[in-house]
């Protein structure tokens, strides 16, 4: 169940902090080792990358938004965006804020009537909503650091090799995810 927290305007809830790295979605692709979809987040001001493995349905939702494909009926993330608008709330930012036992955690930050609130979310859902809300995406510096140490060790992936491979990918290599 999602938890909600309230904060006053002007807090770190609305803007990134020194403990966070702003990222953009660099691409969505299939992991060549695990054959699972992964979202590749890229540091806006540096060359760091963070792969986050996601489920098939979440990858499809993100792929639809990357490709700007319209669906005949609202997808779940569209519904959430519409519901927030109906309650005069808007998403201000998304933060991948924790990594525990190879599982990423995220917060969706929203504002309503000058009050900031956060919801606990899976990163895939938070990222899909961030794309639809056109808001900034951040990763806690501690998560970026932990990912560099090798959180994927249980998958028999050499993270240094994977990171080097991801950093070397060109634009044509990204988006090879097929729905």
Separation CA 106–CA 125 (nearest Å) = 9
Share the mean pLDDT of the chain. 82
| Cβ within 8 Å of residue 132, ≥6 positions away | 65, 77, 78, 81
In a domain, 143, yes or no: yes
Model confidence, pTM? 0.77
The 10s digit of each residue's pLDDT in 50-86 is 999 999 989 999 999 888 888 899 888 889 999 999 9
Asked, for residue 178, whether it belongs to a domain, the answer is: no
The answer to whether residue 15 sits within a structural domain is yes
Q: To the nearest whole percent, how much of the chain has pLDDT over 90?
A: 55
What's the confidence (pLDDT) of residue 161?
A: 58
Per DSSP, the three-state class of 119 is strand
* Domain containing residue 104: 4-167
What is the reported pLDDT for 177?
46
Would residue 55 count as lying in a domain?
yes
Per-residue pLDDT reduced to its tens digit, 21-47: 999 999 899 988 888 999 999 999 988
Burial bucket for residue 133 (CB in 10 Å: 0-12, 13-18, 19+): buried
- Looking at the domain assignment, is residue 173 inside a domain? no
Residue 159 has pLDDT above 70, yes or no: no
What per-residue confidence (pLDDT) applies to 151? 41
Count of domains observed in the chain = 1
Q: Looking at residue 138, what is its pLDDT? A: 98
Q: For residues 6 and 109, what is the distance between their CA atoms, to the nearest angstrom?
A: 10
pLDDT confidence of residue 17: 76
Q: Is 131 inside any structural domain?
A: yes
**Domain for residue 177, yes or no?**
no
Higher confidence at residue 88 or residue 176?
A: 88
Instruction: Label residue 14 by pLDDT band (50, 70, 90).
Output: low
**Residue scoring higher pLDDT (13 or 129):** 129
Query: Which one, of 99, 93, 107, 106, lies nearest residue 148 by Cα?
Result: 99
CA distance 120 to 99: 13
Give the residue carrying structure tokens 């959180």. Answer: 151
Average pLDDT over residues 94-123: 96
pLDDT, average across residues 139-150: 85
In a domain, 162, yes or no: yes
Q: Is the pLDDT of residue 15 over 80?
A: no
For residue 138, the domain's CATH number is: 3.10.690.10
């Amino acid at each position: 169940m999602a938890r909600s927290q309230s904060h006053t305007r002007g807090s770190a809830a609305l803007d990134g902090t020194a403990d966070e790295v702003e990222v953009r979605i660099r691409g969505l692709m299939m992991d060549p080792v695990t054959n699972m979809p992964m979202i590749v987040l890229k540091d806006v001001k540096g060359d760091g990358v963070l792969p986050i493995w996601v489920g098939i349905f979440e990858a499809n939702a993100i792929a639809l938004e990357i490709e700007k494909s319209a669906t005949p009926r609202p997808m779940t993330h569209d519904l959430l965006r519409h519901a927030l608008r109906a309650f005069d709330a808007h998403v201000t930012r998304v933060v991948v804020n924790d990594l525990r036992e190879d599982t990423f955690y995220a917060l969706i930050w929203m504002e309503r009537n000058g009050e900031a609130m956060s919801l606990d979310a899976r990163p895939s859902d938070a990222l899909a909503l961030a794309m639809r809300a056109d808001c900034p995406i951040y990763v806690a510096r501690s998560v970026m650091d932990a990912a560099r140490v090798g959180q994927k060790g249980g998958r028999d992936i050499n993270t240094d090799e994977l990171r080097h491979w991801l950093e070397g990918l060109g634009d044509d290599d990204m988006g090879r995810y097929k729905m």
